[in-house]
Structure 1
Amino acid sequence: MRKKWIMPAIAAVLMLFSTASAAEKLTLMLDWFPNVDHLPIYVARDRGLFEMAGIDVRIVSPSETADALKLAVSGQVDLAVSYQPQTVIAAAEGMDVIAVGRLIEHPLTTLLFLKGKGIEAPPDLSGKRIGYTVPGLMDVMLHAFASLNGVRDYTSVNVGFAVLQSLAAGRVDAVMGPFKTYETVEMAHRGYDVGYFELEKYGIPDYDELIFVCSRNTLNLKEKAVKGFIRAVDVAIGQVRSNPERAFQEYLKAVPEANPETEADAFRLTLPYFAANQNHDPLRWQAFADFALQYKLIGKPVNGASLLRNFDE
């Protein structure tokens, strides 16, 4: 199994040396607490791919769910794991943000609920209390979902990281934002029978769930380092696909607080969604930006292509 990834990795790593000539520090803020969605990042770090690219990457977690993109835009961190919809919304609000790479290439977000509560179709959420995880993103996505699917007179509640606690305690009837590959597994492992509505099956266009963003100023100042980071992650994703079990064991060492059983099931579901390449699709970004304008997620048009940097072009 080792030979399947060693030779491609060597070739890719040699390419990395040409992108960042001197060691440079980068701080990456995750979108959430560390979980298997971020596994390729830890593989890139712990296999020395960042080091080979001439960069020293510090990985930090946000204290609030909306922090990462804002801190990247302000330059308080160099890079952030964010979401394509959040980036479009931020751009419409005048934030100087640019997407430089991809981690998860299709939607994972759901509207999650406990079964046995009379929720079978979206209109059943009318009049309910619905939580959301990321202010400025998931509350806006909830508005679009509700408009598309006949959900009326609901009350929205910011639950932040407390998805399971809020549902289990009955503080909310559903939550917009949990991933179908993670929170569904976590709740099942804790004995909860959950259902969910997948956004892309209820009128929301396809989009990149998790991306890497930074400010244009950071990109101008640290372009070689950012490029090296993105290419190292791309190599790591290829290695993860080649030997998932080895990569998962390395992740457990890197994130010892992770629950092995829950994360193993989540990883199996997540693996097919890791980005096949690092090239953003301008047409897909524009389609989402146009949808966002139509359903009032944003207040003015956004040029999707202007938010993208593809290093392989």
Structure 2
Amino acid sequence: MKKRILALLLAAALTASMAGCSGKSEDTKKSDQGSDKDLTKLTFVLDWTPNTNHTGIYVAQEKGYFADAGLDVEIVQPPEDGAEVLVASGKAQFGVSFQDSLMPAFTGDDALPVEAVAAVLQHNTSGIISRKGEGLDRPKGLEGKKYATWNLELEKATLQNVVEADGGDFSKVELIPSTVTDEVSALQSKSVDAIWIFYGWAGIATEVAGLDTDYFAFKDINSAFDFYTPVIIGNREWMKENADTTKAFLSAAKKGYEFAIENPKDAADILCKAVPELDPDLVQASQEYMKDQYKAEVSQWGYIDPARWNAYYNWINENGLSEEEIPENTGFNNDYLE
């Protein structure tokens, strides 16, 4: 899916090693402090390069929340075929994915034994960004404009839905292959007019750069598009066999994200320390935005609302966008949250 393609395009921006990934989920080692306590070794695979979607994980690692829970968590970059495949293979126990990207994992011969166990953000913060004042503050404005596409069926169906809901003609949108790795530069150079972004990172980047933009969010056009993106996924069978470890991991992650909610500046500093290649101004600004997105209006970080989860896959079913129909309540599990 589109985020997997983004991972390939953006991987060059930061370096990381996959060394140490192990298929033995219950390997243990001594803590760095020389404690006699054995820690259960886990691997957590990102969806693409580190950003503020991942802050809570880095906080939990830095603040010792994972160690306190008896865990030694290694954070790694995704392989070319994505976090889902690594988690399904058992070489990583947990990872980051997206509800739309997960859809193929639940259908057909390529179905994978993965499921979402926590929502990183409560709402879909993605939408279309463009240069300000060019008429793209609403979907119909895409007519006659250059949109950078990944040429994915689900992506184009989503865009077509919002354009037509606004009275536009999707056939008039100029679809050009996306090579965008820097949204600010792409918009400033006018090589493209419209880009699908996640506002908490790319949108904030335009603000930091002082670029005036227009933006509309998909969830504001069609409520079915308020799906869960991103989510933490786990290997379904491994989690069943290691329920206590799964709960311990998510409890520590929850502490990390709650720290980021209450202490965005300190959390941003922790992320920058772990990943010094990141722009600290962007991280600080993004973290300030994200503190209101991690839990939003719900009381429990990570909770996945079945109605909203099902609404998106029902839309996919109704539009014939899945290889086979996805039954309700497929692919997520709130039982490991505490």
TM-score bucket of the superposed structures, by smaller chain:
0.7 to 0.9
Question: How far apart in 2 are the matches of 1:255 and 1:137?
Answer: 32
The residue that corresponds to 1:181 in the other structure is 200
For residues 73-84 of structure 1, the aligned pairs below 5 Å read 73-84=88-99
Partner residue of 2:322 out of 298, 307, 311: 298
Question: How far apart in 2 are the matches of 1:272 and 1:83?
Answer: 19
Question: How far apart in 2 are the matches of 1:128 and 1:68?
Answer: 33
The residue that corresponds to 2:70 in the other structure is 54
The residue that corresponds to 1:6 in the other structure is none
Q: What TM-score results when the alignment is normalised by the length of structure 1? A: 0.81
Q: How far does residue 109 in structure 1 lie from its aligned partner after superposition? A: 0.6
Cα deviations by residue, 1:115-169 (Å, 9 ceiling, x for unpaired): 2434343122124332246967645533443454434123252436444444333
1:111 maps to a residue whose letter is I
Distance 1:261 1:312, change over 3 A: closer
Distance 1:212 1:127, change over 3 A: same
The residue that corresponds to 1:17 in the other structure is none
The residue that corresponds to 2:310 in the other structure is 286
Q: How far does residue 184 in structure 1 lie from its aligned partner after superposition? A: 1.5
Distance 1:192 1:58, change over 3 A: same
Contact map agreement 2:247 2:337 (CA 8 A) in 1: no
Cα deviations by residue, 1:158-192 (Å, 9 ceiling, x for unpaired): 4364444443333332112x122221221232242
Partner residue of 1:266 out of 259, 270, 286: 286
Q: What TM-score results when the alignment is normalised by the length of structure 2? A: 0.75
Distance 1:300 1:145, change over 3 A: farther
Q: How far does residue 86 in structure 1 lie from its aligned partner after superposition? A: 2.1
Q: How far does residue 90 in structure 1 lie from its aligned partner after superposition? A: 3.2
Contact map agreement 1:111 1:174 (CA 8 A) in 2: yes
Contact map agreement 1:29 1:62 (CA 8 A) in 2: yes
The residue that corresponds to 2:222 in the other structure is 203
The residue that corresponds to 1:7 in the other structure is none
Question: How far apart in 1 are the matches of 2:136 and 2:302?
Answer: 38
Question: How far apart in 2 are the matches of 1:146 and 1:286?
Answer: 23
Contact map agreement 1:163 1:175 (CA 8 A) in 2: yes
Question: How far apart in 2 are the matches of 1:235 and 1:297?
Answer: 37
SS at the partner of 1:182? helix
Question: How far apart in 2 are the matches of 1:23 and 1:139?
Answer: 45
Question: How far apart in 2 are the matches of 1:147 and 1:265?
Answer: 34
Question: How far apart in 1 are the matches of 2:243 and 2:46?
Answer: 20
Matched residue count: 291
Contact map agreement 1:129 1:157 (CA 8 A) in 2: no
SS at the partner of 1:131? strand
* 244-253 or 28-37, larger mean C-alpha shift: 244-253
* 287-296 or 131-140, larger mean C-alpha shift: 131-140
Q: How far does residue 277 in structure 1 lie from its aligned partner after superposition? A: 2.4
Unpaired stretches in structure 1, ≥5 consecutive residues: 1-20
* 166-175 or 280-289, larger mean C-alpha shift: 166-175
SS at the partner of 1:104? coil
Matched, 1:103 2:120: yes
Question: How far apart in 1 are the matches of 2:287 and 2:265?
Answer: 10
Contact map agreement 2:136 2:215 (CA 8 A) in 1: no
Contact map agreement 2:251 2:337 (CA 8 A) in 1: no
Partner residue of 2:50 out of 34, 39, 45: 34
1:298 maps to a residue whose letter is S
Question: How far apart in 1 are the matches of 2:86 and 2:178?
Answer: 20
Q: How far does residue 221 in structure 1 lie from its aligned partner after superposition? A: 4.9
Cα deviations by residue, 1:215-237 (Å, 9 ceiling, x for unpaired): 32333454433322111111222
Contact map agreement 2:153 2:321 (CA 8 A) in 1: no
* 88-97 or 249-258, larger mean C-alpha shift: 88-97
Question: How far apart in 2 are the matches of 1:141 and 1:89?
Answer: 16
Contact map agreement 1:122 1:151 (CA 8 A) in 2: no
Distance 1:83 1:105, change over 3 A: same
For residues 108-147 of structure 1, the aligned pairs below 5 Å read 108-132=125-149, 138-139=155-156, 141-147=158-164
Unpaired stretches in structure 2, ≥5 consecutive residues: 1-36
Distance 1:217 1:167, change over 3 A: farther
Higher RCO structure, 1 or 2 (CA under 8 Å, sep 6+): 1
Question: How far apart in 2 are the matches of 1:298 and 1:308?
Answer: 17
Distance 1:291 1:260, change over 3 A: same
Question: How far apart in 1 are the matches of 2:145 and 2:151?
Answer: 19
* 165-174 or 286-295, larger mean C-alpha shift: 165-174
Partner residue of 1:24 out of 36, 40, 50: 40
- RMSD, aligned α-carbons: 2.8
The residue that corresponds to 2:16 in the other structure is none
Contact map agreement 1:145 1:204 (CA 8 A) in 2: no
Distance 1:137 1:233, change over 3 A: farther
Question: How far apart in 1 are the matches of 2:126 and 2:101?
Answer: 13
